[in-house]
Amino acid sequence: MLLRHTPKKLEEREALTINPAKTCQPVGAMYAALGIHKCLPHSHGSQGCCSYHRSALTRHYKEPVMATTSSFTEGASVFGGQANLLEGINNIFTVYDPDVVAVHTTCLSEVIGDDLNQIIRKAQEEGKIPKGKRVIHTNTPSFKGSHVTGFANMTQSMVTYFSENTGSRQKQINLIPGFVEPSDMAELKRIMSEMGVKSVMFPDTSGVLNGPMTGKFKMFPNGGATVDQIKSAGDSFFTLALGRTASLPAAKSLDTKCKVPCEILDLPIGLRATDIFVDNLRKTAGVNVPDSIKFERGQLLDVITDMHQYFYGKKAALVGDPDQLSSLAEFLTDLDMKVTVVVTGTPAGPKFERRVHEASGEKTTVKYGLGSDMFLFHQLVKNDKPDLIFGNTYAKYIARDEDIPLIRTGFPIYDRIGHQYFPMVGYKGALRLLERVLSAVMDRQDRDAPEERFELVM
């Protein structure tokens, strides 16, 4: 395998990426759009681009992802895609009848310079958008950012196009969940419901990409935030945004447009981050934390206490999305594990580096943005071999090559199931994560134990 030729010696690379630690913006934009009820994502570019975006999401969620495309050919590539998009909008509403069409750009349409604002206005003037239907858009060039920034851009567009301040404040909180799994979004809603907090969460892919098998095809699942709910976000009295990279732009736009104040929190992965999330809900909504939530927290503490000796001193290397990595680094450090390496391909900025160092210490090697790819991650792993690797499916090759257990986290995960149905956020999510980490540690201990130390009981 080529991985076995990865050198330990680190070299500075400014113009070369080898196996990027991210996917492109349109993938994240498409995922966010699926979190609107009866929304059909539309890729303004070639059929190949749209096929890749759909394929990435379908393979990760094991669900058919519906989306349309402007189907650029040579003519559109030279003269622009306005005619294709106008005809596409007309066909989409005629054939599929969605409530919303969410258009995102690709490399090709960005390089051409198509003005989507103008094209959507023209479609409205020509009557191609039926009454009561909406077309929104965001710019997501694939040659910059990542799937996380694409998600952030589409979520921000939901605020731009839908949110309204009617002058009548509602006793509800907005929750922008960040780039997390449908199971995580469902868990966040459950926690708020347990605490008696009325909320609007957008986007919301729970029930969309982790739905049941009923034997009947449904073009638009029951899940997703409705347009009316997103409109009402402008009348909420507060916004909690989870994850600086994925959720901050939408929260700030909502504050600017509708004067809804916001607080940016880390994703509630692990004990400390979940405590902060629950406490912010309690203070903001003026409610008490119910016994049911305290019970879940107690269970998590019980497992941490019982199994602490197996976590203590274990070294971990992390690769993935910045919002998840900072919270995960904090949680592992709270378990007395040592986070040695954190790498993300997303251009997360120096604030991300500072946050990771606050969570896990200054000795942690943090890399982000250009040149921070799987090749670099492999080199860092070779130089300071950890006990565990946390990352997506692509990290399995490094894990196998270096004989290190892999805990699958982030996006994409193509070769396992469960992430769609079992959360990683909240106390319940942290408990599941602990079980996975402990199983990996104990499986390795059993595999390597001499016969006289091959114990039946932990």
Predicted pLDDT of residue 294: 98
| Structural domain includes residue 15 | no
Output DSSP code: residue 141. Answer: -
Side chain identity at residue 433, one-letter code: L
Do 55 and 178 have their domain in common? no
Say whether pLDDT at 429 is over 60. yes
Q: Select from 162, 185, 203 the last residue of a domain.
A: 162
Predicted pLDDT of residue 2: 56
**Whole-angstrom Cα distance, residue 351 to residue 400?**
32
Say whether pLDDT at 4 is over 80. no
**Whole-angstrom Cα distance, residue 202 to residue 175?**
7
Say whether pLDDT at 321 is over 70. yes
Do 158 and 184 have their domain in common? no
| Structural domain includes residue 363 | yes
| Structural domain includes residue 223 | yes
Do 182 and 53 have their domain in common? no
Whether 314 and 307 have beta carbons less than 8 Å apart is answered as: no
Residue 198 — pLDDT band, cuts 50, 70, 90? Answer: very high
Do 144 and 182 have their domain in common? no
* Residues 329-371 pLDDT 10s: 999 999 999 999 999 999 999 999 999 999 999 999 999 988 8
Predicted pLDDT of residue 77: 75
* Cβ-Cβ contacts under 8 Å for 9 (sequence gap 6 or more): 379
* Residues 125-148 pLDDT 10s: 999 999 999 999 999 999 999 999
| Structural domain includes residue 275 | no
* Cβ-Cβ contacts under 8 Å for 286 (sequence gap 6 or more): none
Side chain identity at residue 376, one-letter code: L
3-state SS, 347-400, equals CCCHHHHHHHHHHHCCCCEEEECCCCEHHHHHHHHHHCCCCEEEECHHHHHHHH
Listed range (11-20, 151-160, 351-360) with the worst mean pLDDT: 11-20
Do 321 and 239 have their domain in common? no
Do 248 and 319 have their domain in common? no
Q: Select from 134, 162, 190 the last residue of a domain.
A: 162
Output DSSP code: residue 134. Answer: E
For residue 111, indicate whether it is catalytic: yes
Q: Tokens for 387, please give them.
A: 């006990």
Q: Tokens for 212, please give them.
A: 């049941």
Do 238 and 149 have their domain in common? no
Say whether pLDDT at 1 is over 70. no
| Structural domain includes residue 277 | no
Say whether pLDDT at 63 is over 90. yes
Whether 340 and 365 have beta carbons less than 8 Å apart is answered as: yes
Short-list 236, 263, 255, 100, CA closest to 166 = 236
**What are the C-alpha distances in Å from 376 to residues 37, 319, 343?**
40, 10, 8
3-state SS, 82-106, equals HHHHHHHHHHHHHHCCCCEEEEEEC
**Whole-angstrom Cα distance, residue 370 to residue 145?**
10
**Whole-angstrom Cα distance, residue 419 to residue 324?**
14
For residue 278, indicate whether it is catalytic: no
Do 203 and 316 have their domain in common? no
Predicted pLDDT of residue 456: 87
Kindly name the residue from 27, 65, 107, 227 that is annotated as catalytic. 107
Predicted pLDDT of residue 3: 66
Do 254 and 395 have their domain in common? no
* Residues 225-276 pLDDT 10s: 999 999 999 999 999 999 999 999 999 999 999 999 999 999 999 999 999 9
**Whole-angstrom Cα distance, residue 293 to residue 273?**
14
- Domain with 189 in it: 170-265
**Whole-angstrom Cα distance, residue 69 to residue 368?**
32
Indicate the number of domains in the chain: 3
Do 401 and 421 have their domain in common? yes
CATH of the domain at 218: 3.40.50.1980
| Structural domain includes residue 271 | no
Q: What is the mean pLDDT of the chain?
A: 95
Predicted pLDDT of residue 50: 94
Q: H or E stretch including 318? A: strand 315-319
| Structural domain includes residue 427 | yes
Short-list 458, 149, 455, CA closest to 322 = 149
User: What average pLDDT does range 32-58 have in this prediction?
Assistant: 96
**Whole-angstrom Cα distance, residue 246 to residue 390?**
20
Output DSSP code: residue 313. Answer: T
* Residues 87-103 pLDDT 10s: 999 999 999 999 999 99
* Cβ-Cβ contacts under 8 Å for 419 (sequence gap 6 or more): 60, 181, 183, 408, 413
Do 104 and 216 have their domain in common? no
* Residues 371-425 pLDDT 10s: 899 999 999 999 999 999 999 999 999 999 999 999 999 999 999 999 999 999 9
Predicted pLDDT of residue 359: 96
Predicted pLDDT of residue 80: 81
* Residues 162-195 pLDDT 10s: 999 999 999 999 999 999 999 999 999 999 999 9
**Whole-angstrom Cα distance, residue 318 to residue 360?**
12
Percentage above 90 pLDDT, the chain: 89
* Residues 66-86 pLDDT 10s: 999 999 988 777 778 899 999
Q: Select from 118, 142, 162 the last residue of a domain.
A: 162
Predicted pLDDT of residue 275: 98
Do 180 and 152 have their domain in common? no
Whether 45 and 72 have beta carbons less than 8 Å apart is answered as: yes
Side chain identity at residue 224, one-letter code: G
| Structural domain includes residue 13 | no
